[in-house]
């Protein structure tokens, strides 16, 4: 029989407060197979780990159980320690007596009993654990970055600059994302396009970057080191190789459409590039509005005027297949739908606009060339009311969370407005002003110094009375109701993950939270990794953040990808499902249930063969196998049965 | 059809016209309002403090009583409706409290009662109402005033969208009148301030009515006895404070429904309306 | 265990990605729940075989709670669909065996739903307490 050592952690008082660790150690010592049991204040500390290492050597242990926190946190720590003690890492297991026991129970007797049961199940497990060797796989040294906003651009540049070939996929016609739409950036008031466009150009000219715009990732197979990706390149109806970007096609196109880039405040043509500095600077045709597609065969002006015959109405969607070793997801954000805030009249009152629309009004490249003008009559607004937290921090009706950037961009809006309209009045309704960040509080002070009026309270209603916009709100500092007449109202809307990105999340098999933001592997210690090895997260797709944070996170994600992509081989967990060829009858049931095509029927020998690199170790085959031939390594039926029996043991 | 009916205290005192016209119009559409036997005070909204189980006892007993009838109870008073519906929601969310109160009472309540406002009943029975309409109210421009208690808190009441409700307008269209939207239709009428700071209530109600008039409303319709009182009975005082103010008739929804259904004038309860509704009704040939 | 109060024995079979992570989150948030359930961690709920569940009942479990990821969220694409089918079949079988099917419950609890985990365990424990001990029910 194996000689098993059990190490019980106090976790300071986190465990010891509700679990009687001394009594527990005595109890576990008596359990069959346990050769050695001890407890220590912090098992994960160096002296704690040394206890494990020394005991393995001195007591000649064959297996180790560490009863402490969740294996998600420290399984690696103790497996490494076991290796240092001379054991195979897969005969070391953790019993979670913190998250699953001491933190969720109050009664010491009850918690101690449950902790002993949890430990005993794991002792039973290690009794049957076998030493395993990690599976080695070759790495495809290419990266895929999904999303061409500032996060994707930064990640792609960083990976490419490390010498790794990078594919950047952008679903729109140009990279640049939301940042390209912004006017000036807080707190320094750099022009957003001025700092962004050089990076966009760098992407287009980088030898190691392959930019695939107007395309979407359709399917992802495989795992870290070897992903197979299908990318749909949508038909642009313009031959990207022939087109020189001269622009005569969109000059001559007779169809005008509301521009998405201008947030509906400006027009574009049916053949268009979203903005003049677009990268790639090649137009696409919007088939929903193009006359040729609405009345087949008509118009064709663009085709006629194109000097290089690049317009091709016959073009089809195309599927590109690429192989990559790691993926960075940077799918960005949208703003919260203003239509949902019925009390603020967006959509019925023309001069109630969104924060993103106001960015376009302030932008030197925007529809008014930077002049602040009313949408309704083109007049200069003399009083603007800014409503912060429009739809944010409102658990009952809208978004529960704080989008973090709105306080700062509203302060910026107020300041830029005052710079454009000197006698203009900026009134800001707020719940709290949150200005955590380098230079942010100073910026906010500057805005109030320059005369913006802050009113602490929410706006209950915006409506029109005799053509005037009336804003009803509360001033919670004076305890009075406030009624303000405004020429324009700007809604500071929160961030939501890019709409329709759920399908991509499913394809990638990564997780998202209740608000659809991508879930990181650990909120503090692994903030740029997804739960799937080899897939990394960057930018607002993971949670609301401002530009400096996005750039930092993108570089972090890039360095994680680089760490894998600069290796020749990576290793996989060997806890996959094998086949006992003596028991296997070749029925093939497991072939059908395997989600990864990791199991193949060898028709000559009539047994199943496993493709180890594809198996992810879910164990579906093990429970489907009628003969018990398919067994998940170190989680075989016998182990589960023994664990169940020990969990039900009477004390 | 027979439906259990909980009038609440106000419908026997200040809001008699609501009671009279409720009976009149429901009888006209063939629905018998079966008043709950031995009903008592709903406890009113003040008692819905979350940390006090005592306050849920009165609503629970009423709900238990109603449950013995047929699983639904019709409650026209906005305050009673709000109290009973929220209490019902709380008891369903917190079954522990439900169990504890049940243990101490003779009655037993399982949480399955449906609290229904007449407007919800009318929404569910549109075809029936349509078939019974006798008088065309087509040109009467009606402003629908919701007040707060019918709509909020939205998650618990689930009556309609709290910011932009339409159930009232749909009802008004159903009986052939023209609903006129006015932005302040969900703002506060001043409520109980009429007792402690009457000027505040007068101002609040004045603002609503002026906003309605500015949008071309001939008459305002409401369902809450307290809103009705503030909008109707305070108009004399509004006139004193704002000499230019022109009075505007206020109706209970059940009164205009009864008119559309051709109910006799004596059963409409109009004589208690402080602002005379007769001129406008004559003008539109509705009497 | 004091005399007269029945403390049921419950086994929890949880997938590591969602429900076990939800249990971790419940712990991190210090949400209290009864201690009757002993969790056993799988990679995926689809690894759980009917025989493991029956084995638990046979060896004295009063209830078995299975936890997996929501549909569409399975870390292994569609393991939870397999689990759903398996548990539905097993519920029919339990009836034949004279075991109240309320003793076996399947729940989808995502890694973000620590609160839900707590609620489910509380409710399930209460339910099993009401159903009483398994012994004598003739497995």
| Residue A506: predicted pLDDT | 85
| Cross-strand pairs, A96 | A68
Are A127 and A174 within 8 A, CB to CB? Answer: no
Residue where a domain terminates, one of B118, B151, B166 = B118
How many C-beta neighbours within 10 Å does residue B275 have? Answer: 19
| Residue C1: predicted pLDDT | 40
Tell me whether residues C111 and A519 touch, CB distance under 8 A.
yes
Average pLDDT value for residue range C41-53: 95
> Is there a single domain that holds both residue B276 and residue B160?
yes
Averaged pLDDT score across all residues of chain A: 95
Residue with the bigger pLDDT between A572 and A369: it is A369
| Cβ-based contacts of A624 with chain C (< 8 Å) | 82
> Is there a single domain that holds both residue B99 and residue B139?
no
> Is there a single domain that holds both residue B18 and residue B113?
yes
**pLDDT > 60? residue C137:** no
C78 min Cα distance to partner chain A (Å):
7
Chain A, residues 522-541, CB within 8 A of chain C, namely 531-532
Residue with the bigger pLDDT between B202 and A507: it is B202
**pLDDT > 50? residue A428:** yes
Q: In order of start, what are the domains of chain A with their CATH numbers?
A: 4-132 (3.40.50), 142-233+319-332+507-565 (3.50.50.60), 248-305 (no CATH), 334-496 (3.50.50.60), 573-633 (3.30.70.20)
Q: What is the ipTM of this complex?
A: 0.95
> Is there a single domain that holds both residue B169 and residue B256?
yes
Averaged pLDDT score across all residues of chain C: 91
Q: Which helix (H) or strand (E) holds C119?
A: helix C114-131
**Assigned domain for B127 exists:** no
> Is there a single domain that holds both residue B108 and residue B45?
yes
Residue where a domain terminates, one of B91, B118, B145 = B118
Beta-strand ranges (E) seen in A446-544 are 453-456, 459-465, 468-475, 480-486, 488-493, 495-497, 535-537
> Is there a single domain that holds both residue B140 and residue B256?
yes
> Is there a single domain that holds both residue B141 and residue B273?
yes
| Cβ-based contacts of A647 with chain C (< 8 Å) | 9, 11, 38, 40
CA distance B82 to B44: 8
Residue A41 tokens, joined: 């204040």
CA distance B239 to C49: 79
Confidence of residue A537 (pLDDT cuts 50, 70, 90): very high
Average pLDDT value for residue range A175-187: 97
pLDDT 10s digits, B93-135: 888 889 889 988 888 898 888 999 999 999 999 999 999 999 8
**pLDDT > 90? residue A128:** yes
Reference B276, options B240, B232, B243; nearest CA is B232
**Assigned domain for B129 exists:** no
pLDDT 10s digits, A271-319: 999 999 999 999 999 999 999 999 998 999 999 999 999 999 999 999 9
| Residue C138: predicted pLDDT | 45
| CATH code of the domain in which B90 resides | 1.20.1050.140
Averaged pLDDT score across all residues of chain B: 91
CA distance B187 to B145: 9
**Assigned domain for B252 exists:** yes
| Residue B94: predicted pLDDT | 85
**Assigned domain for B173 exists:** yes
> Is there a single domain that holds both residue B254 and residue B156?
yes
| Cβ-based contacts of C120 with chain A (< 8 Å) | none
pLDDT 10s digits, A590-638: 999 998 778 989 999 999 999 887 788 999 999 999 999 999 999 999 9
**pLDDT > 70? residue B49:** no
Are B267 and B38 within 8 A, CB to CB? Answer: no
Best of C18, C27, C86, C118 to substitute, by most chain A Cβ atoms within 10 angstroms, is: C27
> By residue range, what is the domain housing residue B269?
134-283
**Assigned domain for B128 exists:** no
The DSSP symbol for B159 reads S
**Assigned domain for B158 exists:** yes
Are A180 and A193 within 8 A, CB to CB? Answer: yes
> Is there a single domain that holds both residue B143 and residue B246?
yes
**Assigned domain for B54 exists:** yes
What is the four-CA torsion angle of A540, A542, A546, A547, rounded to 10 degrees?
Answer: -70
| Residue B48: predicted pLDDT | 63
Average pLDDT value for residue range A401-426: 97
In chain B, the percentage of residues whose pLDDT exceeds 70 is 98
A504 min Cα distance to partner chain C (Å):
12
> Is there a single domain that holds both residue B140 and residue B99?
no
CA distance A571 to A574: 9
| Residue C2: predicted pLDDT | 41
Confidence of residue A650 (pLDDT cuts 50, 70, 90): confident
Q: Residue C32: which of A106, A514, A632 has the nearest Cβ?
A: A106
> Is there a single domain that holds both residue B176 and residue B100?
no
Count Cβ atoms within 10 A of the Cβ of residue A527 and give its class: 0-12 exposed, 13-18 middle, 19 or more buried. Answer: middle
**pLDDT > 70? residue B47:** no
In chain A, the percentage of residues whose pLDDT exceeds 90 is 90
> Is there a single domain that holds both residue B113 and residue B141?
no
| Residue B50: predicted pLDDT | 59
CA distance C104 to B75: 42
**Assigned domain for B138 exists:** yes
**pLDDT > 90? residue A331:** yes
| Cβ-based contacts of A70 with chain C (< 8 Å) | 24, 27
The domain total for chain B is 2
Confidence of residue A320 (pLDDT cuts 50, 70, 90): very high
Residue where a domain terminates, one of B62, B86, B118 = B118
B161 min Cα distance to partner chain A (Å):
9
| CATH code of the domain in which B268 resides | 3.40.50.11810
| Cross-strand pairs, A68 | A96
């Amino acid at each position: 029989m194996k000689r098993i050592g059990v190490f019980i952690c106090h976790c300071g008082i986190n465990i010891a407060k509700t679990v009687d660790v001394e009594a527990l150690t005595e109890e576990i010592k008596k359990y069959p197979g346990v050769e050695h049991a001890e407890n220590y204040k912090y098992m994960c500390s160096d002296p704690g780990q040394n206890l494990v290492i020394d005991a393995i050597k001195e007591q000649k242990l064959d297996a180790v159980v560490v009863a402490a926190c969740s294996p998600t946190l420290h399984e690696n720590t103790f497996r490494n320690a076991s290796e240092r003690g001379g054991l195979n890492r897969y005969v070391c297991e953790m019993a979670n007596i913190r998250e699953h026991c001491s933190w969720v129970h109050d009664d010491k007797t009850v918690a101690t009993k449950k902790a002993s049961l949890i430990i005993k199940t794991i002792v039973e497990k290690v009794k049957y654990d076998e030493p395993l060797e990690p599976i080695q796989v070759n790495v495809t040294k290419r990266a895929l970055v999904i999303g061409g906003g500032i996060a994707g651009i930064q990640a792609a540049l960083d990976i490419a600059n490390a010498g790794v070939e990078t594919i950047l996929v952008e679903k729109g016609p140009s990279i640049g994302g939301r940042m390209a739409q912004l006017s000036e950036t807080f707190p320094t008031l750099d022009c957003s396009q001025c700092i962004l466009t050089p990076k966009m150009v760098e992407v287009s000219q980088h030898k190691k970057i392959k930019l695939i715009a107007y395309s979407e990732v359709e399917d992802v197979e495989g795992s870290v080191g070897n992903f197979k990706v299908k990318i749909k390149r949508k038909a642009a109806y313009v031959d990207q190789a022939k087109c020189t970007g001269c622009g005569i096609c969109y000059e001559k196109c007779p169809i005008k459409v509301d521009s998405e880039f201008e947030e509906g405040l400006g027009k574009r043509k049916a053949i268009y590039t979203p903005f003049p500095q677009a990268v790639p600077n090649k137009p696409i045709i919007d088939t929903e509005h193009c006359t040729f597609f609405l009345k087949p065969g008509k118009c064709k002006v663009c085709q006629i005027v194109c000097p290089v015959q690049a317009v091709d109405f016959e073009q089809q969607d195309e599927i590109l297949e690429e192989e990559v070793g790691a993926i960075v997801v940077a799918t960005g954000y949208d703003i919260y739908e203003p239509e949902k805030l019925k009390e603020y009249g967006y959509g019925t009152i023309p001069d109630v606009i969104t924060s993103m629309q106001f960015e376009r009004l302030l932008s030197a490249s925007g529809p008014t060339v930077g002049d602040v003008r009313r949408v309704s009559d083109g007049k200069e607004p003399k009083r603007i009311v800014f409503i912060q937290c429009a739809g944010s921090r409102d658990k009952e009706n809208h978004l529960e969370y704080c989008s973090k950037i709105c306080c700062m961009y509203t302060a910026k809006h107020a300041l830029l407005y005052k710079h454009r309209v000197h006698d203009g009045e900026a009134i800001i309704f707020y719940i709290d002003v949150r200005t955590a960040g380098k230079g942010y509080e100073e910026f906010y002070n500057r805005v109030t110094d320059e005369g913006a009026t802050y009113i602490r309270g929410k706006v209950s209603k915006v409506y029109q009375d005799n053509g005037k916009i009336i804003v009803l709100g509360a001033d919670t500092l004076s305890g009075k109701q406030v009624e303000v007449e405004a020429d324009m109202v700007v809604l500071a809307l929160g961030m939501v993950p890019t709409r329709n990105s759920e399908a991509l999340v499913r394809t990638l098999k990564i997780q998202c939270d209740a608000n659809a933001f991508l879930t990181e592997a650990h909120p503090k210690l692994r903030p740029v990794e997804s739960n799937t090895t080899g897939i990394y997260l960057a930018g607002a797709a993971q949670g609301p953040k401002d530009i400096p944070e996005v750039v930092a996170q993108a570089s972090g994600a890039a360095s994680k990808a680089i760490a894998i992509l600069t290796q020749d081989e990576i290793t996989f967990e060997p806890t996959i499902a094998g086949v006992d060829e003596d028991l296997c009858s070749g029925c093939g049931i497991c072939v059908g249930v395997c989600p990864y095509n990791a199991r193949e029927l060898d028709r000559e020998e009539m047994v199943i063969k496993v493709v180890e690199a594809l198996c992810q170790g879910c164990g579906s085959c093990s429970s489907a196998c009628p003969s018990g031939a398919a067994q998940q390594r170190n989680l075989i039926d016998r182990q589960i049965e023994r664990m169940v029996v020990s969990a039900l043991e009477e004390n | 059809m027979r439906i259990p009916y909980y009038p609440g205290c106000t419908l026997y005192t200040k809001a008699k016209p609501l009671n009279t016209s409720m009976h009149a119009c429901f009888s006209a559409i063939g629905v018998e309002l079966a008043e709950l036997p031995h009903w008592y005070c709903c406890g009113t909204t003040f008692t819905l403090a979350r940390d006090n189980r005592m306050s849920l006892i009165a609503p629970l007993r009423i709900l238990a009583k109603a449950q013995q009838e047929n699983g639904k109870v019709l409650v026209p008073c906005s305050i009673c409706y709000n109290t009973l519906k929220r209490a019902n929601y709380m008891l369903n969310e917190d079954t522990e409290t439900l169990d504890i109160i049940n243990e101490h009472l003779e009655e037993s309540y399982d949480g399955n009662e449906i609290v229904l406002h007449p407007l919800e009943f009318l929404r569910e029975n549109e075809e029936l109402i349509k078939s019974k309409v006798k008088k065309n109210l087509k040109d009467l421009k009606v402003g629908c005033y919701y007040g707060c208690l019918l709509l909020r808190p939205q998650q618990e009441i689930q009556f309609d969208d709290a910011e932009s409700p339409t159930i009232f307008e749909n009802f008004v269209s159903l009986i052939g009148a023209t609903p006129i939207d006015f932005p302040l239709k969900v703002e506060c009428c001043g409520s109980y301030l009429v007792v402690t700071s009457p000027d505040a209530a007068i101002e609040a109600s004045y603002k609503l009515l002026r906003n309605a008039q500015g949008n071309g409303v001939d008459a305002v319709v409401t369902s809450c006895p307290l809103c009705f009182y503030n909008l109707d009975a305070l108009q004399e005082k509004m006139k004193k404070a704002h000499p230019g103010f022109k009075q505007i008739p206020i109706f209970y929804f059940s009164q205009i429904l009864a008119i559309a259904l051709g109910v006799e004038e004596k059963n409409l309860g109009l004589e208690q309306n402080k602002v005379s509704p007769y001129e406008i009704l004559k003008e539109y040939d509705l009497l | 265990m004091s005399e007269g109060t029945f403390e049921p024995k419950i086994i929890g079979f949880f997938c590591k990605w969602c429900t076990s992570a939800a249990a971790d989150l419940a712990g991190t948030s210090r949400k209290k729940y009864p201690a009757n359930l002993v969790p056993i961690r799988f990679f995926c709920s689809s690894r759980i075989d009917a025989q493991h569940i029956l084995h638990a009942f046979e060896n004295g479990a009063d209830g078995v709670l299975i936890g997996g990821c929501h549909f569409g969220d399975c870390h292994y694409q569609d393991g939870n669909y397999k689990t759903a089918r398996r548990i539905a079949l097993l519920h029919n079988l339990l009836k034949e065996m004279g075991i109240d099917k309320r003793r076996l419950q399947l729940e989808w609890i995502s890694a973000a739903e620590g609160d839900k985990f707590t609620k489910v365990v509380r409710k399930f424990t209460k339910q099993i307490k009401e159903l009483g001990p398994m012994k004598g029910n003739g497995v």
